[in-house]
Structure 1
């Protein structure tokens, strides 16, 4: 799509060198916008955006969102925060600061610029849910003192800040609650179940399943998720969210492991380990609101998205 100078937006993507952020940068550039990618590269990686540096509409800035940012943009996508337990538990204090101070700084920037700002929240705000599937009206079952709290409560506080800015000064906000997302550019050592299983299978290592493998997750391919984020940002000011974005098709962890083994043609064995503290037993989004407000439905099934993800990791591991 070719945009004129008048229709082109300058868009900030924090966390833009990460898994989700880099795909979002791709899509926004393909739409003809200018993109300012901001990342401190704690979990993001330059290889995710290397292919974009020759694009004159793309700019990268190394910056930590816990510090203010003095720039001029038309829209803000705030994706900055470690999103896997391995990474967000590495420095839990910094994780909370990234969610809370990052939200404060991006909201302050949006207030000054009078522009839309989207918060990438998470299904983790529901904790270990007592309601299934999870709707946006559910307040959650979160342990505020556990090892996952830095992320869960940090994201919950960020949502609070977004809605208080909206109520207090009328700031135009969008809040997306993102459920398990997978695809190319996932970090090979992020500890998330899809990347874990694929890397282990390709390496011929045993597939490690925590618990009995009967806990469930719903897996959304990254292209579908990015489409949902952009559709949410493009809604009018009456739509604030929170809106669940995820694939409502539910799989047990054991089913995922068996699918990965089949697609990689691996003979690796399944091994079972203790379930981590506060690990949710069930996770599936109710996406009725996204269907109604965004006309959004995920299109890519797990059997179609997994081969793309496996192909990415096969190439990556060969290069490492």
Structure 2
């Protein structure tokens, strides 16, 4: 597959990539910064927008000297007037610790942020990508989850600000397409991990690694038999770029995640083994509405995008452990920036 933005001639030759002006909201976050890396490396002009609620300057510091990279401190709930060819909308806190801190603002970020980026796309004719989430499926009664499953979401629970905010954002994207003919792309992201995860985001991978490296008890909620499927960051970013580069008729939603399912307790045991930690596993009550099973059916992604994850869990965990080990040795300075 030609890399995103490239042109293929009838003789099979691939032309130089088309240089695009690309807006990435939430660009200083975990996934946003990795996406900015790829776009800058591919020669595009990148505008990274972030309000630094969960994004960190350290994530993008290495890009600041690049002539085709620009950063703007801005909240997507407020209007933004820029001229771009493509928009990746990644702005929203994605872990329960952060999105439950200010649930009203979380809902505003999903809904008003979607309206604002869709407004830019309508005015400029840009393609616009929505980073949705597997949380739209709630605590699923269908397993693995396919894109036509409508979900089992509690609209009144503590996770609803994120779950329903993302569901509403998807509605807005498809209504703007029907009403205004926008070129939209919607990806439903399953559990993703890797370097630049926020050290205090409360997600299982970062929690387990930091607890293991510190020799602290590893905290499991419930009995640890609930399952998750973990996708390494670079694999997910490749999925983003392939979806954005696909034909206009491919709108999504498309599941992006690793279909290899593992019990949360099994993840904790692998982290213990890879860190050679003496930490103990302890159990705590399961939070309200925490799903028991979460695993993507990625048939659409394979068929429409030619995409499948390539980084194995142990290799991805080793890379992530190296990142957090370096942070801890540096006194977690990056977590305060």
When normalised by structure 2's length, the TM-score is: 0.93
Between the aligned partners of 2:41 and 2:168, the Cα distance in structure 1 is 33
Q: Secondary structure at the match of 1:76?
A: strand
Given candidates 300, 303, 308, the residue that maps to 1:289 is 300
Alignment of 1:189-204 (within 5 A): 189-204=200-215
Task: Kindly indicate whether residue 176 of structure 2 is the aligned counterpart of residue 165 of structure 1.
Answer: yes
Deviation (angstroms), 1:286: 0.1
Task: Kindly indicate whether residue 114 of structure 2 is the aligned counterpart of residue 103 of structure 1.
Answer: yes
Given candidates 131, 143, 150, the residue that maps to 1:132 is 143
Alignment of 1:83-232 (within 5 A): 83-232=94-243
What's the counterpart of residue 12 of structure 2?
Answer: none
Deviations 1:130-162 (CA, angstroms, capped at 9, x unpaired)? 000000000000000000000000000000000
Deviation (angstroms), 1:102: 0.1
Given candidates 50, 61, 64, the residue that maps to 1:53 is 64
Given candidates 240, 258, 281, the residue that maps to 2:251 is 240
Deviation (angstroms), 1:317: 1.2
Between the aligned partners of 2:205 and 2:17, the Cα distance in structure 1 is 42
Q: Which consecutive segments of 4 or more residues in structure 1 shift more than 3 A?
A: 1-6
Between the aligned partners of 1:193 and 1:134, the Cα distance in structure 2 is 20
Alignment of 1:25-64 (within 5 A): 25-64=36-75
Between the aligned partners of 1:109 and 1:165, the Cα distance in structure 2 is 12
Deviation (angstroms), 1:7: 2.2
Deviations 1:189-223 (CA, angstroms, capped at 9, x unpaired)? 00000000000000110000000000000000000
Deviation (angstroms), 1:252: 0.2
Between the aligned partners of 1:186 and 1:7, the Cα distance in structure 2 is 31
Deviation (angstroms), 1:227: 0.1
Between the aligned partners of 1:303 and 1:87, the Cα distance in structure 2 is 27
Between the aligned partners of 2:17 and 2:301, the Cα distance in structure 1 is 30
Deviations 1:79-119 (CA, angstroms, capped at 9, x unpaired)? 00000000000000000000000000000010000110000
Deviation (angstroms), 1:260: 0.3
Runs of at least 5 residues in structure 2 that lack an aligned partner in the other structure: 7-14, 332-337
When normalised by structure 1's length, the TM-score is: 0.98
Indicate the larger mover: 91-100 or 3-12: 3-12
What's the counterpart of residue 327 of structure 2?
Answer: 316
Q: Secondary structure at the match of 2:46?
A: strand
Between the aligned partners of 1:235 and 1:5, the Cα distance in structure 2 is 18
The number of aligned residues is: 320
Deviation (angstroms), 1:5: 10
Between the aligned partners of 1:249 and 1:172, the Cα distance in structure 2 is 31
Deviation (angstroms), 1:236: 1.2
Runs of at least 5 residues in structure 1 that lack an aligned partner in the other structure: none
Between the aligned partners of 1:26 and 1:64, the Cα distance in structure 2 is 21
